[in-house]
Structure 1
Amino acid sequence: MFDDKFIASAKKLISFISKNTFDSITQRTPYYHMGATITDSVLQAGLNYSHVVYPRILKLLKEFPDYKTTCDFIILMQIFPLNDLISWRNEKKLERIKKLSWFFYNNKIENEDQLATWLNDKNNLPKLAQIEGIGPKTIDYLKMLSGSQAIAVDRHLFKFLELANITVKTYQEANAIYCKVAEMLKISQYELDRKIWLFMSNSKA
């Protein structure tokens, strides 16, 4: 629950937001292509999204539009090497994509709607977090990719808090403040996340 400190931080962030101008955005819809969803969730960490990640997602969507389910993606990886499918050489992320694909398959998650339902059960999240490299931010990002409301606090959103002179110690603390701000502003969590992410991506701060 929120104590006075969190409420004060949320109000401070709202005040800072009001002093800036943000691009308008539309609600994100899932890819409805689990290969794209899984690949996006793994590649996004620490990479330039527009120039590095999204072109690879677009490649999967355009070249293999009929391979929509988790099972389809696993079959596709057996037909073509994954490094060729997404033009990627880093073995660690390639292995993570494979592990996440099999994890979803073994948990009977074949599409984004099923993924959203599964992620909505908090009892499932510790199992997902056992996969190396899958932390709270990636889990929140998977929620967003599957069409659920979430805020994935990355370096851009942490920097925005810093610019607002708000100090946080953990991911969970930052996430809680952003979620409270979305509630107080009566906007979706995705809208808040995306507006700030775009603002910071285009900023020289």
Structure 2
Amino acid sequence: MSFPKSECDVLSALSSARLVVHLAQEKGVVGHNLSYREPLYHVGAILADAALQAGLNYRTVVKVRVDRIVQHFPEAATLSGMFDTIASIGVAEFLRWHHHTKVSRFVCLAELLRNESIDDFHQLRTWLQNPACREKLRAIHGVGPKTVDYLCGLVGLDFIAVDRHIRAFASDAGVTAADYDFLQTVISYAADLLGVSRRHFDASIWTYVSNQKAGPQRRTTLQLPFDGPVAVA
């Protein structure tokens, strides 16, 4: 995560963060979501989640596929086990997804980790804390800063992944800036001011915005992006 470099940038981010805090307090965003998903100790499911999540409905499309991987392919909890599995059944069947773009992204992520000698969850989590990994991930077609931060969140690192939910909430708070790094800093500062983890605040905003879109009749059935065995675009 990159922070503002000048004092003016810091003050601007803090001012915007206070607007976000005000809206979060007004709407009870954090208080309504007291838990979030623990890290998923399954490399195959983590990579599937990261590769599939962009542009898809998380609850109805992504989560069911990630849950299936966890339940049916426990051997794929390690990267080597995952490669053995897909050698047997194929990547498309493993993901239950056949469109080339996301299948290719999944394969590229997996190949990068193998080239980096990563096999299990703990090695992946350690690697993601090395700033040098971001450039390598970003070199994969379709992997932007949000996907990298999202992947960090999946292993339990305290990152904000700026998605359409974050942008919508910030806009409602009166923060109209479009720059990814600036918005990430604003939401991170807001979480700090509220005294909650950034992952918690990210999940809370996701749930709140999703519930607003879903309507009253479905609000009790929506899942947190960091809740249960498997995370949002």
Quote the sequence identity (%).
32
Counterpart of 2:16? 9
CA-CA distance at 1:112 after TM superposition: 2.2
Counterpart of 2:39? 30
Amino acid at match of 2:123: Q
CA-CA distance at 1:141 after TM superposition: 0.6
CA-CA distance at 1:168 after TM superposition: 1.1
Structure 1 SS opposite 2:77: coil
Match of 2:126 among 117, 134, 140: 117
CA-CA distance at 1:113 after TM superposition: 1.8
- What is the alpha-carbon distance in structure 1 between the residues aligned to residue 37 and residue 119 of structure 2? 20
- What is the alpha-carbon distance in structure 2 between the residues aligned to residue 68 and residue 135 of structure 1? 25
- Structure 2, unmatched stretches of 5+, are 215-233
- Structure 1, unmatched stretches of 5+, are none
- What is the alpha-carbon distance in structure 2 between the residues aligned to residue 141 and residue 188 of structure 1? 15
CA-CA distance at 1:87 after TM superposition: 1.6
Counterpart of 2:62? 53
- CA-based RMSD of the aligned residues comes to 1.4
- Please list, as runs of the form range in 1=range in 2, the aligned pairs for 1:123-134 lying within 5 A after superposition: 123-134=132-143
CA-CA distance at 1:67 after TM superposition: 2.3
CA-CA distance at 1:124 after TM superposition: 2.1
Q: What does the per-residue CA deviation read over 1:8-37, in whole Å, with 9 as the maximum and x for residues that have no partner?
A: 101111111111023323242222111100
**TM-score, normalised by the number of residues in structure 1:** 0.95
Q: Is the counterpart of residue 20 in structure 1 residue 17 in structure 2?
A: no
State how many pairs are aligned: 205
- What is the alpha-carbon distance in structure 2 between the residues aligned to residue 80 and residue 53 of structure 1? 20
Q: Which runs of 4+ in 1 moved over 3 A?
A: none
Greater CA drift, 59-68 or 26-35: 26-35
Q: Is the counterpart of residue 95 in structure 1 residue 104 in structure 2?
A: yes
Q: Is the counterpart of residue 139 in structure 1 residue 148 in structure 2?
A: yes
Tell me if structure 2 keeps the 8 A contact 1:25–1:194: no
CA-CA distance at 1:111 after TM superposition: 2.0
- What is the alpha-carbon distance in structure 1 between the residues aligned to residue 175 and residue 204 of structure 2? 18
Q: What does the per-residue CA deviation read over 1:98-137, in whole Å, with 9 as the maximum and x for residues that have no partner?
A: 1100111110121222222111111221111101111110
